[in-house]
Amino acid sequence: MARALVKVNIMKDQILAKVLKVSLAVGSVCVLAPFVSAQGIGSTEMDNMLVSTPQRVERGAELFQQNCSVCHGKTGEGMANIQLAGADGRTFNTADFTKGEYNIAKGPIQAYNVITFGLEDALVGADVAAAEERLGGKVPTHPTFNFLQYQSRWDMVHYIRSLSPTAGRIDPEEIIAKAKDRAINGVCDEDIKSSLNEKVTPQGDEQLATGKEIFNANCASCHGQNGKSDNPVGSSLMPPARNFTTEDPKEWTNQPVNALSVFDAITNGVPGTSMASYANLGEDERWALTQYVLNWVPDSVKVDATEAQIVAACRSLSAPEAPEPISIDVAMRALIKDQAEQRAVRHAQYGAVELQAGADAKSGALTFMQSCASCHGNSGSGAATGPLGAQPPYFYLTTDRLSPAAAGGTTADFARRSYAGAHATLAGMSSAATLSKAEWSNLQAYVASFDGDVEIKVAAPKVDPEAVTTQGEVAPEGEAAPEAETE
């Protein structure tokens, strides 16, 4: 029992650490943004999830054993004669991940889609027909694992892809485009989409009575009890509060007008106006308020919902409720624990080290000692610095060993990261902002020489066209190329 509790607490800490990066501090609590497949996580977070780290692979290995090994084998070697629901009695040999047998999910996003949405969602175009021919029938239903946080599903993806070389196994452009759209806008749950017709249908007098009560408590101060917004408060706003009874189409700025547009305005507010979001109301309360407001809207301005409105409403309603807040001290502990993994993600996103031709690591070592070692230690070994600050409370800074991957990208990228970001908030950083291009180039070469794995590329030397001889040779530095001889 004790071991089980420890395991639960470890998993809980892992989840907290991941969701904290988009949390909002409110007073003494930290409100966490919910993360599941139905909610857009943003393109930056999607890029983050695509990076494989040792921590993610390790967590993914445990999750794989718990959720996938029964069909794919304990080591991902695949199994024979596996039955799947809805496959008409057919049996299947599951893919051998150790040999890179990715029959459907060749890229990381496709693998994530299989885990999250099923096999069909990972297929595009002609792949569907090819898969059905290979499987001898309709593509079977693959179990989905949406009870796991989306980060945990990505952990499983990285573990599976770690079992064999993945070079050349990339996602099709259509899959990438769909993933970006989902990351930005969220996912529409088809069951919720099919229920929208019922949701927009008036439910009778009891619903209207509820809507009236909510309107008088939350909306009448601006829109008036008659919905005409002809009171001092509503008319003084810029723009004025909406008159729900008007037949003038120019006043209905968020066309087309229907139950979904009114519900959207109540749920998300109206940008550029004083209309705030009332997402704090329950969904049934918002629908009751929608129907009450629609009673004032003239039929001449009402139109049918567009497909875009339907999908937007579906995505909004598919998002989960926010989890319970946690204390700031728990949030800070989780963030500290998550630092090493996030550093690995950033380093992977920097890419290969792109050194300038002629960059001198020895000269860079001197610059490092003069400008960096006081905080980063000799040879980037890390150091503790402090107390810092003009008066109490003082703070202390501890830096970890520098990885050569910290020098990734171009010299300009490396320099920008070094004197911006967290560095810009520290005292004594003026020297970093005054380094020459050559000093930055040498410093990048020195950091890239630290112990660790990193890909290093050297840019081709820049050649001055005026220094090239007629024979295609470069003249010695400081000498001009000879004039071309004429006959």
261-289 per-position pLDDT tens digit: 999 999 989 888 999 999 899 999 999 99
Determine the pLDDT at residue 47: 93
Answer yes or no: do 200 and 159 share one domain. no
The CA distances from residue 165 to 83, 98, 100, 170, 400, in Å, are 28, 9, 7, 12, 31
Determine the pLDDT at residue 194: 93
Answer yes or no: do 297 and 400 share one domain. no
- Give the domain-ending residue among 165, 184, 203: 184
Torsion of CA 472, 476, 479, 485, to 10 degrees: -30
Answer yes or no: do 366 and 486 share one domain. yes
List for the chain the helix, strand, coil content (%; round to 5). Answer: 50, 5, 40
Determine the pLDDT at residue 460: 66
266 burial (CB, 10 Å; 0-12 / 13-18 / 19+) is: buried
Question: Which domain, by its residues, includes 460?
Answer: 352-487
d(CA 318, CA 193): 9
Determine the pLDDT at residue 464: 52
Residue 461 lies in a domain: yes
Determine the pLDDT at residue 197: 93
Determine the pLDDT at residue 125: 67
Answer yes or no: do 177 and 199 share one domain. no
For the chain, the residue count is 487
Determine the pLDDT at residue 48: 93
Determine the pLDDT at residue 127: 72
Determine the pLDDT at residue 169: 87
Phi, psi of 229 (to 5 degrees): 55, 35
Here the tokens at position 93 are: 């040999």
Answer yes or no: do 177 and 204 share one domain. no
| Beta strand ranges found along 351-454 (DSSP E) | 353-355, 383-388, 395-399
Radius of gyration from C-alpha coordinates of the chain: 30
Answer yes or no: do 234 and 280 share one domain. yes
Which residue ranges of the chain lie beneath pLDDT 50?
Answer: 1-38, 465, 467-487
What is the count of structural domains for the chain? 3
Answer yes or no: do 68 and 92 share one domain. yes
- Give the domain-ending residue among 295, 318, 341: 318
Question: 30: helix, coil or strand?
Answer: strand
Helix axes 339-350, 328-337, angle to 10 degrees: 50
Residue 30 lies in a domain: no
Cis peptide before 249 (omega within 30 of 0): no
pTM, whole model, 2 decimals? 0.70
Q: How do residues 426-472 score in pLDDT, each as one tens digit?
A: 766 666 778 899 999 999 999 999 999 889 998 766 555 454 444 44
Answer yes or no: do 75 and 156 share one domain. yes
Answer yes or no: do 288 and 309 share one domain. yes
